[in-house]
Amino acid sequence: MSDPARKAVVLLSGGLDSATVLAMAQADGYTCHALSLDYGQRHRAELAAAQRIATALGAVEHKVLPLSLDAIGGSALTDPAIAVPESGGEGIPVTYVPARNTVFLSLALGWAEVLGATDLFVGVNAVDYSGYPDCRPAYIAAFERLASLATKAGVEGAEYRVHAPLIELSKAEIIRAGAALGVDYGLTVSCYQADDLGNACGRCDACRLRAAGFQVAGIADPTRYLT
């Protein structure tokens, strides 16, 4: 049961990982305030998925903040002129959104300060991921330090913690953990170019990692694919 005195802000994209993190935070007894960002992403079906997940998993509140990262572009997820790749490659892929996790965590931090919460949850992963620099343990540790330096609450003695419980788990381990907590992965959308109904392409990095995770986990994949 959640404890009203233990508030947390959980970044909720609508994908598999963030749904698992919300379930973990709930299981740990936090009263969860879910935050989603409408940042100009091409896969906007994930926002509807985030609402379904927040309701299903019992978040006490779910905010969707508008944020036009498509105004600066620089990513296949925010610029329609950049194609979403359908095969892996060298280096950081074009699906990296410049400074996305820094922006998202900063907004979560601001809301946490208003709520009087000192715990932030984020579903970053440094194992089965696409090489994003803002998904590494060093980045999470650095943002945790920044949170205490950059806020009134931090200066007054609050100790912020950024929880990244998936950071060292494989996709299969994440799926098994979420399934054990009752996460309905059929509610989630992971595809970088899902259609308006949330149907997945089955070809992008996100789809391939997700499908492989279900296969290795030995759990039926509930993903709806485009035909």
**Read out DSSP for 143-189?**
HHHHHHHHSHHHHTT---EEE-TTTT--HHHHHHHHHHTT--GGG--
Rounded distance, CA 43 to CA 103, Å?
Answer: 18
**Running DSSP on this structure, what letter comes out for residue 200?**
B
1 pLDDT above the threshold of 80: no
Q: Which residues are registered as beta bridge partners of 61?
A: 33
Domain presence at residue 176: yes
Domain presence at residue 105: yes
Q: What is the pLDDT of residues 64-100, one digit of tens each?
A: 999 999 999 999 999 999 999 886 667 888 999 999 9
Domain presence at residue 51: yes
Domain presence at residue 226: no
111 pLDDT above the threshold of 80: yes
Mean pLDDT along residues 191-208: 93
Mean pLDDT along residues 114-121: 98
Residue span of the structural domain in which 81 resides: 3-217
Q: How many domains does the chain have?
A: 1
3-state secondary structure of 8: strand
Q: Are 123 and 36 in contact (CB under 8 A)?
A: no
Percent of the chain scored above 90 by pLDDT?
88
pLDDT of the residue at 128: 66
Domain presence at residue 225: no
Domain presence at residue 48: yes
CATH number assigned to the domain comprising residue 79: 3.40.50.620
pLDDT of the residue at 85: 87
Domain presence at residue 195: yes
pLDDT of the residue at 5: 76
pTM for the model: 0.95
Rounded distance, CA 32 to CA 22, Å?
Answer: 7
Domain presence at residue 224: no
